[in-house]
Amino acid sequence: MKNCIKIIKKKNANEVGKEASNIVLNEIKKKPSLVLGLATGRTMIQFYRELVKLFKNKKINFSKVKTFNIDEYYGIDWNDLRSYKKYMDKNLFEKIKIKKENINFLDGSKKNWRKECLDYEKKIKEVGGIDLQILGIGRNGHIALNEPGSSFKSKTRKIKLNEETRRANVGFFNSIKEVPRYALTSGIKTIMGSKKILLLATGKEKRDVVKKALKGKITKKVPASILRKHRNVIFILDSNALG
């Protein structure tokens, strides 16, 4: 199958963040009410820093933008400092002007997670789908928190986190015991429904998985490999991740 993924290679993580933020800027210029899918993790830090810079320089206007974050830990609430919601508040939402009602987030404190996930899917539909989805990639190939083995038909749901994923995120916690065992995640089908996707990867530790995603078999074992079946995907990689 023809690989339709466009690859943009950048020198370092800062440049990756800059490139991604400029793409967001252009998409918002084209459509001020852009529906933007957002991710968390270390890779996204530079990207959010660059978006904030664009906002401070009055180049970007978020007043009509709607956001949907793709995942959240299960069993902790938004006030918890370890939640992805707090990460987003700290790195982006508190630093830009965006309407609270335009920020959409899965709530990991809801007992009825099925309803939470269905409501999330419904909200995406109501706004006409995600225009631009930003993704990171886990060292095991996960996108959002769709761990290896996730069905390509999966929708938003509760998922058990792999030990590898928990270990990769221990830096945001005091110890491995504190890292939640479950999360709510946007599904692979949900992500594939986005009109355009940007995947950002930086650092040597992502090199193997990026190679598998781009050149290996399209398999549930490497969830990001399915992106090759999407019509409009850009991988923005630093020289370490591309190898």
How far is it, in rounded angstroms, from Cα 239 to Cα 204? 9
Nearer to ligand GLP by C-beta: 144 or 234? 144
Retrieve residue 15's tokens. 């440049």
Query: Where in 119-158 is the site for ligand GLP (CB under 6 A)?
Result: 135-138, 144-145
Selected binder of ligand GLP within 21, 40, 146, 225 (CB under 6 A): 40
Q: Is 14 a catalytic residue?
A: no
Number of CB atoms found within 10 A of residue 152's CB: 16
Round the CA-based radius of gyration of the chain to a whole number and report it: 17
- Per DSSP bridges, beta strands 35-38 and 71-73 are unpaired
Shortest CB 169 distance to ligand GLP, Å: 5
Q: Between 8 and 61, name the residue whose CB sits nearer to ligand GLP.
A: 8
How far apart are CB 58 and ligand GLP at their closest, in Å?
A: 29
Q: Which stretch binds ligand GLP (CB under 6 A): 23-31, 38-46, 94-102, 149-157?
A: 38-46
Q: Does 75 bind ligand GLP (CB under 6 A)?
A: no
Q: Report how far residue 15's alpha carbon sits from residue 1's, in angstroms, rounded to the nearest whole number.
A: 30
Q: Which residue in the block uniquely carries the two structure tokens 């968390």?
A: 40
Region binding ligand GLP by CB under 6 A among candidate stretches 16-24, 34-42, 49-57, 187-195: 34-42
Q: What one-character-per-residue DSSP string does 38-97 give?
A: E--STTHHHHHHHHHHHHHTT----TT-EEEE-EEESS--TTSTTSHHHHHHHHTGGGS-
**Interface residue with ligand GLP, options 27, 71, 131, 238 (CB under 6 A):** 71
Between 47 and 55, name the residue whose CB sits nearer to ligand GLP: 47
Q: How far is the CB of 177 from ligand GLP (least distance, A)?
A: 17
Nearest to 37 by CA among 102, 137, 134, 124: 134
Q: Is 94 a residue of the active site?
A: no
Residues acting as catalytic residues: 71, 140, 142, 147
